[in-house]
Amino acid sequence: MTAAPPTDASSAVGRRRRLARLGGVNGVISGIALDHRDSLRVLLARRGLALETSELRAVKLALARTLAPRATAIMLDEELGQAALQAGVIPASVGLIMPLEAQGYEAAGDGRVATLLPDFGPSDALRYGADACKLLVPYRADDEHSAAQQDELVRSTAAACHEVGLPLVVEPVVYRWSTESAATFGDVYTSLVVSATTRLQPLGVDLLKLPFPVLEGSSAGEVGAREACRAIAAACRGTPWVLLGAGVDMDTFVEQVRLAGSAGASGFLVGRGIWGPALAWDPREVERLAATVSGPAFERCREAAEMTARPLPAGGH
């Protein structure tokens, strides 16, 4: 007897169960974002480290081996993360998120538009045992031309992920126009984050990875930051969300995790702010610094999230 194809309802249950894996036993996502590619090369170049692809893979292997066991989830790409994936250094209890966006952004007038990797999709992520896919989209809701293109990309990517039973994590990154002053951008930043969240949430997104809605150095203060966090939580309309790191210092990020968690965030996915201090040419030095510097910093973030964040819904419910 041929098995019946999965229904929309059963697919949704499966996605929720996979999504719940990202939060570990407590349902709070304490994640490492290690899917950087071009941005990793740029960061290393600024430190005078021009590494070959094989060396970059060795660096990611060292970071993943040391940091993944501390996390509930890890974001890892195929291109530079394949050594870590093949070596099996990510514990089975740690959820795996794999990116779908290509590096660089196509111009859409004065806007930016993401494109997908040409040779890696949701089915490939599934073969690696991924629990979710991720799509980063530069986003300006006040530029209808580029925003509409990004909306359609998110909608079609979510459908492709759902077709194979994988949830989609969407990361909108608002950006400053080349003609826009820092002060003007700061004035509209919160509204841009809220507007991006409002537009993207209904498009099939399973988890939103959002920037802290107040820029570092803002005069908003804690009261204003709390109000901004509540505004993006309302814009999520029940869709779970986590905080991204944006490379801020650890004291700042721990406070952001606390404020976002108090507003309903389900944790965080942090990248270079954690593993940046561990970058080195020698993978052995990478492991040493990851264990002694990055690891303790990550634990501070995890403790803050577990004290304040809203757990993900239990899988299947």
- What is the structure's pLDDT at 4? 47
Non-local (6+) Cβ contacts of 243 within 8 A are: 209, 210, 211, 212, 256, 257, 260, 265, 267, 268, 269
Average of per-residue pLDDT across 95-100: 98
Average pLDDT across the chain, whole number: 91
Where residue 6 falls among pLDDT bands split at 50, 70, 90? Answer: low
Nearest to 313 by CA among 106, 12, 52: 12
Checking if the pLDDT of 47 tops 90, the result is no
**CA atoms of 121 and 118, how far apart (whole Å):** 8
pLDDT by residue (tens digit) across 201-221? 999 999 999 999 998 777 778
- What is the structure's pLDDT at 127? 95
Where residue 108 falls among pLDDT bands split at 50, 70, 90? Answer: low
Rg (the chain; Cα; Å) = 19
- What is the structure's pLDDT at 50? 83
- What is the structure's pLDDT at 48? 86
290: DSSP letter: I
Non-local (6+) Cβ contacts of 160 within 8 A are: 121, 122
pLDDT by residue (tens digit) across 274-283? 999 999 989 9
For domain 21-308, give the CATH superfamily.
Aldolase class I (3.20.20.70)
Average of per-residue pLDDT across 12-33: 94
Check: pTM over 0.85? Answer yes or no: yes
Average of per-residue pLDDT across 119-135: 96
116: DSSP letter: B
Domain layout of the chain by residue ranges: 21-308
Checking if the pLDDT of 157 tops 60, the result is yes
In which residue are the tokens 């809701």 written? 141
Query: Which one is predicted more confidently, 107 or 78?
Result: 78
What ranges make up the beta strands (E) of the chain?
Answer: 29-34, 73-76, 95-99, 106-108, 111-113, 132-138, 168-173, 207-210, 241-244, 267-270
